[in-house]
Amino acid sequence: MTKYFSANEVARHCTHDDLWIIYGNKVYDLTPYYKEHPGGTALLRYAGKNATSALPMVNSHGIAWNFITKKLEECQIGILK
């Protein structure tokens, strides 16, 4: 069953141990990935926020885009209302 989350609900998950982001119209829980993220704490800038325009703008993401899309698929928890 698909879960739906509002932007306000996502915004409550904005710490290193509870980190959700919005990308496109989907919601992702990146908490398990946070410690592995090669950019370190840079991921926190988008915690609880919409990262749709920011994600593709990071230079290193161009090289790792296949990995990123796979990781996002694994971490998707719902759809934005």
**Average pLDDT score over the chain:** 94
- For residue 15, is pLDDT > 90? yes
**Structural domains of the chain, ranges and CATH numbers in brackets:** 4-80 (3.10.120.10)
- For residue 81, is pLDDT > 80? yes
- For residue 5, is pLDDT > 80? yes
Alpha-carbon span 81 to 63, nearest angstrom? 31
- In sequence order, what are the residues at sequence separation of 6 or more whose Cβ sits closer than 8 angstroms to the Cβ of residue 80? 4, 5, 6, 7, 10, 22, 25, 26, 27
Calculated CA dihedral for residues 72, 13, 36, 55, nearest 10 degrees: 50
**Sorting pLDDT into bands at 50, 70 and 90, what band is 56?**
confident
Q: What global pTM score does this model have? A: 0.92
Of residues 54 and 62, which shows the higher confidence score? 54
